[in-house]
Amino acid sequence: MKYQHILMSLALLLAFNSNAQQEANFSFQSFNPLSINSGYAGVNEGLNCMMIERAQWISVPGHPRSSAVTVDSPLRGYNLAAGVTFTTDQIGPARSTSFSADFAYRLYLTNKTRLAFGIKGSLTSQTLRFSELQNIDQTDFNFSQDIQFKVQPNIGFGAYLWNEKYFVGLSSPHLLKQKTEDINNIGFGTSQQHMYAYGGVVIDLNEKLKLKPTALIRHTQGAPIAIDMNTSLLINQRLWVGAGYRYKQAWGTNLMLMINEKFKLGYAYERSHTNIQTYTGGTHEVLLGFLFKYKDRGSFNRIYF
C-alpha cells in the first residue's frame, strides 16, 4: 500500500471513526481544564488567558497537532462566570476546528470552598484536505478534491469543586452523539460522548515546597478507559517540576515557570511506551498563560490548579 493511502486511512480512522480519540488530550490539562469542564470558568477570579500548542509523534509525517486558546473570567457579581475556547486539531489531511462558550454558576460551601456548575455550547467544523496529499494515481478523482463536513453543534456540562488545597471535577464537554456527514449527506462515522472525572490535592512539604498529585479518568464509548496521572513539585511559589504517566500509553515530564503573578510559561515532553514508540518520536507541548486579577474581587485564596 502506498504511503499516501496509509496516511489517508489513518486520518480517517483517527478523526472520524466512532471508536477514535475525538478530543485532544493535553499534558497541561490540569492547569487549563476549561476546554473539558465549563465549571472551571472564573476560578482564578480574574481575566485568565491560556494558549497551548501540542505536536505529537513528531517523527511521523502528517503527525497530529493540537492547539487550544481559552479565555475565562468571573462576571459582575461573585456567582457567575463565563469563558470561551477555540481549538484546532490536525492529522494528515484531516482538520477539525471548534469554538465553544461556557457559563458557570458558583456557590460558596464555606469561606474557602466553592462548587460551580457550568454549561457549554460548541460548534465544530471538519475537513479532509486531499489536495495536500501527493496522489500517485492522478486519475483517482476520489482523492483529488477536499471534503467539507457539516458544522456540528453540541452541548456539554461540568461540575467543579475547589479550594486552595484540592479540586474535583466531573464533566462531559460533548453530550450529543452525532453523525459526521459531508455536505452531500455521506456519513463518515459518529462522534462519541466523552466523560471526565479528575481531581488533585496540594500538600505542604515545608515553607518552600508543595506537592501536587493529580489524576484524570476519561471514558469514551467503545474505547478503553484512559487514566492520566501526574505529580508536580512547586518550588518557592515560582517553578513547577512534574512527571506524568498515561496508563499503558506514555510517560512524560513537565516544567512550569511562574514568571510573575501575571505570566507563566510551561513545557511538557511525552514519550510513548507502546509498540509504535520506535516510529513515532516524542511529543512536545508548550503553554503560555496570562492572569489579570480583578482588584474588586477580594482575596479569595491562591489557586494551584
pLDDT tens by residue, the chain, 305 residues: 444 444 444 444 444 443 344 567 889 988 889 999 999 999 998 999 999 999 988 888 888 999 999 999 999 876 999 999 999 999 888 899 999 999 999 999 998 899 999 999 999 998 887 766 666 655 555 556 777 787 899 999 999 999 989 999 999 999 988 777 666 666 666 777 889 999 999 999 999 999 999 999 999 877 889 999 999 999 999 999 999 999 988 999 999 999 998 999 999 999 988 777 677 778 999 999 999 988 766 555 567 77
Grid coordinates belonging to 50: 491560556
Q: Residue 57 burial by CB count (10 A; 0-12/13-18/19+): exposed, middle or buried?
A: buried
Q: Which pLDDT score is estimated for 301?
A: 54
Closest Cα to residue 283, out of 14, 58, 11, 32?
58
Q: What's the half-sphere exposure (Cβ side, CA atoms, 13 Å) at 149?
A: 28
Rounded to whole angstroms, the Cα distance separating 26 from 34 reads: 12
Q: Which pLDDT score is estimated for 144?
A: 60
Q: Which pLDDT score is estimated for 6?
A: 44
Fold of 3-297: Porin (2.40.160)
pLDDT tens for residues 250-264?
999 999 999 998 999
Strand locations in 56-191 (E): 65-74, 80-91, 94-108, 114-128, 147-148, 152-162, 166-172, 179-181, 187-190
Residue 227 near residue 252 (C-beta atoms within 8 A)? no
Domain boundaries, the chain: 3-297
Closest Cα to residue 78, out of 109, 112, 45?
45
Q: Which pLDDT score is estimated for 22?
A: 55
Rounded to whole angstroms, the Cα distance separating 196 from 225 reads: 10
Q: Which pLDDT score is estimated for 55?
A: 94
Query: Would you say the C-alpha torsion 237, 242, 246, 247 has a positive or negative sign?
Result: negative
Q: What are phi and psi of 142, to 5 degrees?
A: -65, -25
Residue 32 near residue 48 (C-beta atoms within 8 A)? no
Amino acid at 62: G
Rounded to whole angstroms, the Cα distance separating 265 from 279 reads: 29
pTM of the model: 0.85
pLDDT tens for residues 42-72?
999 899 999 999 998 888 888 899 999 999 9
Rounded to whole angstroms, the Cα distance separating 119 from 81 reads: 11
Amino acid at 38: S
Grid coordinates belonging to 111: 469561606
Count of residues for the chain? Answer: 305
Residue 98 near residue 86 (C-beta atoms within 8 A)? yes
Q: Which pLDDT score is estimated for 291?
A: 94
Rounded to whole angstroms, the Cα distance separating 194 from 156 reads: 10
Closest Cα to residue 249, out of 205, 216, 200, 222?
216
Q: Which pLDDT score is estimated for 20?
A: 40
Grid coordinates belonging to 292: 489579570
Q: Residue 125 burial by CB count (10 A; 0-12/13-18/19+): exposed, middle or buried?
A: middle
